[in-house]
Structure 1
Amino acid sequence: MKQLGTEPIYERGVFRSGTNLVQFHLRQLGLGEWWATRDGTFAREGASHPAESGWCHAVGLTEAAWPAGADLGVVVTWVPGSRFRRDEKTGALPPGAAEHWRTSLAHLADALESRGFVVERNGPPQGPDYHGHAEMLVYRMPPGVEPPRLPADAWEGATPHPPNFERDSWYPAPNPAREAERVLLAADLTGIADYSNPHPQQGVGHCLVNELPQLVWPYRSELVAWVRWYPDSQFRRADKFSAVPDGAAEHWSECVPRIVSTFEAAGYRVRQPERHQGPSTDEHADLVVYRAKR
């Protein structure tokens, strides 16, 4: 097992802080990716264990999608070993691919839980027949607090969502992120000029809509999207050491509830981080919007 120096300090509210902490543990466990200089360029070396075992890396996750009570949450993406990957030309799977996925993911989960993290593989099924990689929800609970795990059969009967090898887009079904954008456009709350809205409403900040990994979708939900709202430039701090501009608190308290009520009026439910979001601690506000599946 590699010793890689001091564990990084975790600072909740800093988006990459949790990612850096989990990535540190992945590398110590011999499971994380490595980058090295080759001929003056950076290249991925892969994990420190045999190449056929695959490798993984941590990706940041909005606090609005963390399990209730968690004080850290990320998504860990695992890529299978090269000799167990699907043939891109023929679509054929090599012998042992399914077993490779099963044993490798079980080993990864056990290793991370040995470091005090909680690991869950929620959401629609993931496997080599449909996907080139797997994703896990990795989070941490305060000492003595039980994790709010979903029932073992929570996703029983679910089919893999797009994109996957069989279906590369949501079409003809609605794309969750695009549906959320339509709600914002209809209320003129995007704050971004484009061909469909060349003169957007001013004074409301602006919103960006992103897709959210399906393993963190709320239970029995659909049309899930991650909405990130940015305040107008005059209400942003220059850096984390700067004073909060005059009027920033009022700008936040007016705009964020307006976005929430707009989605709720359109039949959505809205989740926000348990930690208070505001101009003194944050550059933006995050929301997870979704509709309950009937």
Structure 2
Amino acid sequence: MTVEQRRRRKARFAMVARVGKDLQQLGLSPSDDVDHEASRAHLAGLGWCQATYAPEEAWPPGAELCAVVQWFPDKAYRRDSRTGKLPSLAGEHWKRRVAATVRELESIGYLVAVSGPPRAPHLHPGEELLVWRPREGKSNTWPPFGAWDGLEPARPNFKTGPNAYPYPERNPATALGAALGKLRAGTAEDGRAYVTTAGAALWPPYAEYCARVLWEPAEQFRCLPDGTLPDGAVEHWQDGVERVRCRLQGAGYHVRTAERPTSPVQDEEAGLLVWVSKVRAFSYGDGG
């Protein structure tokens, strides 16, 4: 691993930790300074939050920091896992506390979106918020109004079970993997690409299905144990990522990479956000 790769990895952890600390200071997350269960008890009636990583290819345009904040309802308003029933005020609690969480985060300078296909208390354990800070001078008009209207509820959920697409439905990830063809197996020329899930909050506007495709370089072009890169590693990286992009776009997918150019000097793999949208095409305005 190069020095820059280590720095980037630490920066990702630090970013999530920063948002997590802000949640604690706002009284929205259990404190690290006291017993975790006691801290949650202090949040009784409010629900609680935690910050998780958001890959750069899914950041809103112009963001300099981004994370996903997961909100979970207070235990008094959670769905009974045995009966599937909800307490009578669960929907009101969900709506009121998510709105309050958004306001609290916005009060300290974050931009917040309840993005992606809808979540609801009878189908999901909690809500997900995309939280970010824009670079100076960047517009804060994202996302477009009504960008996810009419979508089916986020999967997996309590109705589908742990399998997001139970038989006889076909998982769209199967078709996406097929579009990658031989790139999935990995070759000395192409490197290797594979499909992984994209959380609901990461879905782009108007997406009807979304996933992440991760590309990693061929073994002979990876970082050496002493932190140096083999000859041709940069060219291999650029060609490999572009090959994946062209393959997917040729198969009808929309593709977006991070605004920050990735490279083998700073990154261990390249992420691409890949989605299907039959309603309308959408551009982030950043060339992605």
TM-score range, shorter chain: 0.7 to 0.9
What does 1:264-279 correspond to in 2, within 5 Å?
A: 264-279=249-264
> Hey, what does 1:4 align to over in structure 2?
none
Identity of aligned residues (%): 37
Helix, strand or coil: the match of 1:215? helix
> Hey, what does 2:183 align to over in structure 1?
189
Asked if 1 retains the 8 angstrom alpha-carbon contact of 2:224 and 2:230, the reply is: no
How far the C-alpha of 1:94 sits from its partner, in A, is 0.9
> Hey, what does 1:217 align to over in structure 2?
203
How far the C-alpha of 1:206 sits from its partner, in A, is 2.2
Cα distance in 2, alignment partners of residues 189 and 256 from structure 1: 11
Q: Deviations along 1:22-41, whole A, 9 cap, x unmatched? A: 11111111212446898xxx
Cα distance in 2, alignment partners of residues 70 and 12 from structure 1: 18
Specify which of 164, 172, 176 is matched with residue 176 of structure 1: 172
Cα distance in 2, alignment partners of residues 69 and 46 from structure 1: 35
How far the C-alpha of 1:226 sits from its partner, in A, is 0.4
Cα distance in 2, alignment partners of residues 223 and 124 from structure 1: 9
How far the C-alpha of 1:92 sits from its partner, in A, is 1.1
Structure 1 residues 203 and 118: alpha-carbon distance in aligned structure 2, compared to 1, 3 A threshold: same
What does 1:116-265 correspond to in 2, within 5 Å?
A: 116-168=109-161, 169-171=164-166, 172-184=168-180, 187-191=181-185, 201-238=187-224, 242-265=227-250
Q: Deviations along 1:121-171, whole A, 9 cap, x unmatched? A: 122222212111111111110234221323433333333132112223223
How far the C-alpha of 1:220 sits from its partner, in A, is 1.9
Specify which of 70, 77, 89 is matched with residue 70 of structure 2: 77
Specify which of 90, 97, 100 is matched with residue 83 of structure 2: 90
How far the C-alpha of 1:117 sits from its partner, in A, is 0.8
Cα distance in 2, alignment partners of residues 20 and 277 from structure 1: 23
Q: CA RMSD in A?
A: 2.6
Output the TM-score relative to the length of structure 2.
0.84
Cα distance in 2, alignment partners of residues 206 and 45 from structure 1: 46
Greater mean deviation of Cα atoms: 241-250 or 211-220: 241-250
Gaps of 5+ in 2: 1-6, 280-288
Structure 1 residues 154 and 289: alpha-carbon distance in aligned structure 2, compared to 1, 3 A threshold: closer
Helix, strand or coil: the match of 2:198? coil
Cα distance in 2, alignment partners of residues 175 and 147 from structure 1: 34
Structure 1 residues 182 and 37: alpha-carbon distance in aligned structure 2, compared to 1, 3 A threshold: farther
Cα distance in 1, alignment partners of residues 95 and 38 from structure 2: 24
Structure 1 residues 84 and 48: alpha-carbon distance in aligned structure 2, compared to 1, 3 A threshold: closer
Helix, strand or coil: the match of 1:189? helix
> Hey, what does 2:285 align to over in structure 1?
none
Helix, strand or coil: the match of 1:17? helix
Gaps of 5+ in 1: 1-9, 192-199
Helix, strand or coil: the match of 1:24? helix
More relative contact order in 1 or in 2 (CA 8 Å, sep 6+)? 2
How far the C-alpha of 1:86 sits from its partner, in A, is 0.6
Asked if 2 retains the 8 angstrom alpha-carbon contact of 1:205 and 1:231, the reply is: yes
Letter in 1 for 2:182: D
Asked if 1 retains the 8 angstrom alpha-carbon contact of 2:214 and 2:269, the reply is: yes
Asked if 2 retains the 8 angstrom alpha-carbon contact of 1:190 and 1:207, the reply is: yes
Specify which of 12, 15, 26 is matched with residue 15 of structure 1: 12
Letter in 2 for 1:280: V
What does 1:48-67 correspond to in 2, within 5 Å?
A: 49-67=42-60
How far the C-alpha of 1:13 sits from its partner, in A, is 8.7
Structure (1 or 2) with the greater helix fraction: 2
How far the C-alpha of 1:201 sits from its partner, in A, is 3.4
Structure 1 residues 188 and 237: alpha-carbon distance in aligned structure 2, compared to 1, 3 A threshold: same
Cα distance in 1, alignment partners of residues 104 and 155 from structure 2: 29
